[in-house]
A = this chain, B = another copy of it.
Amino acid sequence: MATVAHQISAAQAAREIAAGRLTSETLVRACLSRITERDAHVQAWAFLDHDLAIAQARACDRSPRRGPLHGVPIGVKDVIDTADMPTAYNSPIYANHQPRADAACVAAVRRAGAVIMGKTETTEFANNHPARTRNPHNLGHTPGGSSSGSAAAVADYMVPLAFGTQTGGSTIRPSAFCGVVGYKPTFNTINRAGLKIVAESLDTIGLHARTVEDVALLAAAASGRPMPEFGRRGGAPRVGLYRTPHWDKTDEATRNLIAEVADRLRRAGWSVVDADLPPQAVAVYDANSTIMQYEEAASFGWEYDNHAGLLSEDLRARIERGRATSRAQYERAIDVVLEVGAMFVDAFRSVDVLLTPSAPGEAPFGLTSTGNSLFNRNWTTLGLPCVTLPAGLGPRGLPLGVQWVGPYRGDRELLLAVDAAAKVLAR
Chain A residues packing against B (C-beta within 8 Å): 83, 94, 97, 100-104, 106-108, 110-111, 188, 191-194, 197, 200-201, 223-226, 294-295, 298-303, 305-306, 326-327, 330-331, 409
Contact = CB atoms under 8 A, between A and B. Distances in A.
- Count of this chain's copies in the oligomeric assembly: 2
A325 B192 CA distance: 19
A111 B301 contact: yes
Given A94-B100, A104-B302, 8 more contacts: A101-B302, A103-B302, A104-B299, A107-B305, A111-B301, A191-B298, A193-B197, A193-B298
A386 B101 CA distance: 33
Contacts of A330: 224
A104 B301 contact: yes
A8 to B, nearest CB: 28
B192 A197 contact: yes
A299 B200 contact: no
Contacts of A111: 301, 305
Nearest to A198: B193
Nearest to A186: B331
Contacts of A101: 302-303
Given A225-B327, A327-B225, A83 B302 contact: yes
Nearest to A303: B101
A111 B108 CA distance: 37
Contacts of A409: 331
Nearest to A188: B201
